[in-house]
C-alpha cells in the first residue's frame, strides 16, 4: 500500500498535466450562441434607426415568409465588411430587417449611404435591450426568422462570401 502511495503525486501530476495540455491545445471557441434558437422572438417595438426606413417590431417579422434579422452598428467594422454579402442576399430576394445597436440616426444614415442599404425596416436599440433579450452577444449577428416569427438559425459574426449559400439554404428550410 505504502509503496503504491509513493506514485500518487506523480499520477496526480500527470493527470493535471494532461488536463492543462488538452485545454491549451483545444482550439479557442468563444462563440456564445443564443439559447432562443427554435423559440419565438421576444416581444419588442423599436423606434426607427434611419431617416428613410420604418421602425421595427417583432410582429413585423412573422409574415408567413422567412426573413433575415441582422444585428449591426455603424461603429462596428466587421458590419461594414459584411455589407456586400447582405446586398447579395437582398438581390437573391431575401427580405432583411435590422436592429442597430447603441447607435444614432445620423450615424446610421451615413453608414448606409456609404455601404449600401439592404434593409426593409431598421429598429434602433440604443441600450442593447433587444440585443440582450435575443441572447445575442455582439455585432454583427444575423438571425433567420421563420414565417411564424420563430428564430430558426443564428449566425454569429459577419456573413462571409462563402456563407451566403448556407444562409440561403437556412432561409429556404425555415418555411
Partner 1 sequence: MKALLALLALMLSVPSFAQSALPPAPYADRQIADPALEKKARTLMETIRCLTCQSQSIADSNASMAGDLRSQIRERILAGEQPEHIRAWLIERYGDWVSYEPTADPILWPLWAAPLLLLGLGLLILRGRIKRRRP
**Residue numbers at the binding site for partner 1 (CB under 8 A):** 30, 32-36, 73, 75-77, 101-104, 107, 126-129, 131-135, 137-138
- β-bridge pairing 96-101 and 67-72: parallel
CB of 28 to partner 1, least distance (A): 10
CB of 175 to partner 1, least distance (A): 25
State which residue, 5 or 25, has the beta carbon closest to partner 1. Answer: 5
Residue 27 is given by DSSP the state: P
State which residue, 90 or 102, has the beta carbon closest to partner 1. Answer: 102
CB of 119 to partner 1, least distance (A): 19
- β-bridge pairing 56-57 and 45-46: antiparallel
CB of 141 to partner 1, least distance (A): 11
Residue ranges of alpha helices (H) inside the chain are 2-5, 8-25, 77-91, 105-115, 129-133, 164-173
State which residue, 14 or 126, has the beta carbon closest to partner 1. Answer: 126
Closest CA to 167 of 52, 90, 53: 90
State which residue, 74 or 94, has the beta carbon closest to partner 1. Answer: 74
* Cα 9 to Cα 15: distance, rounded to the nearest angstrom: 10
Amino acid at each position: 500500500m505504502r509503496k503504491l502511495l509513493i506514485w500518487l503525486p506523480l499520477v496526480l501530476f500527470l493527470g493535471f498535466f494532461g488536463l492543462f495540455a488538452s485545454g491549451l491545445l483545444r482550439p479557442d471557441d468563444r462563440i456564445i450562441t443564443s439559447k432562443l434558437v427554435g423559440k419565438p422572438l421576444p416581444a419588442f417595438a423599436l423606434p426607427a434607426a434611419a431617416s428613410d426606413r420604418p421602425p421595427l417590431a417583432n410582429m413585423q417579422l412573422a409574415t408567413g415568409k422567412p426573413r433575415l434579422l441582422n444585428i449591426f452598428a455603424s461603429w462596428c467594422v466587421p458590419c461594414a465588411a459584411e455589407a456586400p454579402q447582405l446586398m447579395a442576399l437582398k438581390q437573391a430576394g431575401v427580405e432583411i430587417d435590422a436592429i442597430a445597436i447603441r447607435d444614432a440616426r445620423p450615424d446610421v444614415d451615413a453608414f448606409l449611404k456609404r455601404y449600401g442599404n439592404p434593409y426593409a425596416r431598421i429598429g434602433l436599440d440604443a441600450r442593447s435591450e433587444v440585443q440582450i433579450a435575443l441572447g445575442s452577444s455582439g455585432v454583427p449577428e444575423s438571425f433567420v426568422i421563420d414565417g411564424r416569427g420563430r428564430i430558426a438559425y443564428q449566425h454569429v459574426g459577419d456573413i462571409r462570401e462563402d456563407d451566403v449559400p448556407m444562409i440561403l439554404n437556412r432561409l429556404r428550410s425555415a418555411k
